[in-house]
Amino acid sequence: MTGGPGRAAERDKVALITAAGNGIGAATARAFAAAGYRLVLADVDADGPARTAGTLSATTVIADLTDEVGAATAVSRAVEAHGQLDVLVNVVGGSRPGRTVPELDRAEWDRWVALNLTSVFLMCREALPYLVRSRGSVVNVSSGAGIRGMRANPAYCAAKAGVVGLTRAMAIDHGPQGVRINCVAPGPVRTPLMARNRTPEEIAAMGDIAVLGRIGEPEEVAAAILWLAGPSASYVT
């Protein structure tokens, strides 16, 4: 949606996008900007939101969204800046494969669960009162690993499966209030996280076994998120 009626329909709506500094979050910010949304970009990286914003008009927030104060700060900043909140996109997440359950200590387990699941819970808890008011929507980013599993990455798989379950629970609870809550679970996507965790040979191998014969691009996931958040998906939750 880059112009015409779709852009006009979204011009007064406010979208808060987390992990907006790079990868799927940055691509989602660009997609929502092209659709006419007013943007609030949140990231723990001090340079991330500003780097993504570039020439876009956006409110930026630096916050640790695994922390209650950080999540509250991000949502309150959005509402203070724009007077409303219509869309929350939870992109925050990450992993470092390489350990099985017996090899994983409790601190590392807690770290990955906090990053991938608790952050989603905290952001939704803060945002839902405003989304009920606007009859808005949430799009959470899970992972194919949360559905089918992944070798030597148990905390990430468990947390991303939790995002799917949390999404379903909130959809049931808040659908009667007019809030749509959806989730995307991408397979391998060409992001900075992918480049850090996998060798070029491993990435190429993932593409070879994918149904489409390649890994995905952040812009392709962003397009799905934009559709789920917008009026064309008005009966999807």
CA 62 to chain centre: 16
Beta bridge partners of 139: 89, 182
Known catalytic residues? Answer: 156
Q: How many CB atoms lie within 10 A of CB 199?
A: 9
Per the listing, tokens 């009667």 go with 176
Token pair for 27: 């691509």
Pair 188, 194: CB distance under 8 Å:
yes
Among candidates 180, 185, 137, which has minimal Cα distance to 161?
Answer: 185
Q: How far is CA 28 from the centre of its chain?
A: 9
Cα maximum dimension of the chain: 55
